[in-house]
Structure 1
């Protein structure tokens, strides 16, 4: 994302959202690319404005990547489960994405 030229995003060269093309509505992850770009630039407010649910999902994915790095460096999987795999955390991430999507569909966010 950091190395992508700014003109590429404005040129409409991407594939776009298949869900939006079929239904005319944004998918739960629409705005995710803008969220990533804003995070790379350090603009948390713009990342939140682009898609709050995607921001939560991206932060959770960073935890998973960190887990992979730690386990790879140790050369083994951790015996105890990492806390972000707890069912309550998974429900919060999935629920946050769903709530964010519904709020964007209704125009409240």
Structure 2
């Protein structure tokens, strides 16, 4: 199997999140079990990913405003996931060549970008949940 590019991996992760967001309400309603954020449960401080489950469920239900209110990051993940689908199909069918390995510099920049996005998400969650 060929190696996936970073956008392909993120896009597939987003598709997995969408599938989980469809199943999650059914599972929690039928079992009564939930999955609280461990950091928030132990410390009262939300993690950078807090709100993503709520946002994903809202988005698959068509509630864009609710999704953005819970975690704006979900919109970027959803857009990336939709954009990656044709790319994956074209690469799997042989129309497009396999991805080229990113340079160390590009990987570092992407890592810094992901870190800054996580910090921005955390600040958003701290503000949204009124933690000061």
Q: Place the TM-score, normalised by the shorter chain, in its bin.
A: 0.5 to 0.7
Tell me how far apart the structure 2 counterparts of residues 23 and 66 of structure 1 sit (CA, whole Å): 42
Distance in 2 (alpha carbons) for counterparts of 1:58 and 1:90: 20
Which one of the candidate residues 89, 93, 96 is aligned to 1:73?
93
Greater alpha carbon shift after TM alignment, 60-69 vs 10-19: 60-69
The answer (yes or no) to whether the contact 1:57–1:93 under 8 Å persists in 2 is no
TM-score, scaled relative to structure 2: 0.55
Q: Does 1:105 align with 2:126?
A: yes
Q: Which residue of 1 aligns with 2:40?
A: 20
Instruction: With a CA cutoff of 8 Å and minimum separation of 6, indicate the structure with the bigger relative contact order.
Output: 2
Q: Within the alignment, does 1:53 sit opposite 2:73 as a pair?
A: yes
Match of 2:55 in 1: 35
Question: What CA RMSD, in Å, does the superposition of the two structures yield over aligned residues?
Answer: 3.7
Task: Provide structure 1 residue ranges, at least 5 long, that are not aligned to the other structure.
Answer: none
Q: Give the conservation status (yes or no) of the 8 Å contact 1:34–1:50.
A: yes
Task: Figure out how many residues of one structure are paired with residues of the other and give that number.
Answer: 106
Deviation at 1:14? 1.9
TM-score, length of structure 1 as denominator length: 0.63
